Amino acid sequence: MTTQKKLHISTTLNGEPCEFLCEPGQILSDVLRNTLNLTGTKEGCTTGDCGACSVMLDDALVCSCLVLAAEAEGKSIETVEGVGHEGQLHPVQEKLLEHAALQCGICTPGIVVAAKALLEKNPDPSEEETRYWLAGNLCRCTGYDKIIRAVMDAGATMRGE
């Protein structure tokens, strides 16, 4: 068995400079969770099918299980731990709580990151747009009803309605 030499990667993580070592084949979700101890990013499949590992890489919403950690070199990563500022929840987080839009909550970090990305791109999404945007985030518990309502309500709050 070959031992692989680790790579040294420099990134910005949740607004702060961050350097880490990783194996060439290591996926970003693994490094976030197990090297950097940011376990808010979840792994439901590691094959890009569940969305629990959603993070922002620069301006793109990605499944961090489909990104090699080394690809983050020079980029900015935002995880669920970076959502909300100075002890304040982001409106998406507020509204998910208010609408009781989580049961087990394992999908929630991914939904938070994905929904925030949606509302930044499209401040006033229709129900259909919201449903299609979140189609990559599996939730087995809620049937999505309350999640969709919460995200649209968060949009309304952010628009000052």
141 is a contact residue toward ligand FES (CB under 6 A): yes
Residues in region 100-139 near another protein by CB under 8 A: 100, 102-109, 112, 127-128, 130-132, 134-139
**Residues 25-64, mask of contacts with ligand FES (x by CB under 6 A):** ------------------xxxx-xxxxxx---------x-
Q: How far is the CB of 70 from ligand FES (least distance, A)?
A: 17
Among 46, 76, 157, 158, indicate the residue that binds another protein (CB under 8 A): 46
Token pair belonging to 160: 């000052």
Q: Are 101 and 142 in contact (CB under 8 A)?
A: yes
Q: Report the SS3 class of residue 77.
A: strand
33 is a contact residue toward another protein (CB under 8 A): yes
Residues in region 71-130 near ligand FES by CB under 6 A: 102-107
Distance set, CA 137 to CA 28, 63, 84 (Å): 18, 10, 20
In degrees to the nearest 10, what's the CA dihedral of 79, 85, 89, 90? Answer: -70
* Neighbour count for residue 43 (Cβ, 10 Å): 19
**Strands across the sheet with 7-13, in order?**
16-22, 7-13, 76-78, 54-57, 60-63
Q: Which residues bind ligand FES (CB under 6 A)?
A: 43-46, 48-53, 63, 65, 102-107, 139-142
Interacting residues toward another protein by CB under 8 A: 1, 23, 33-34, 38-47, 49-50, 52, 79-81, 83-84, 89, 93, 96-100, 102-109, 112, 127-128, 130-132, 134-149
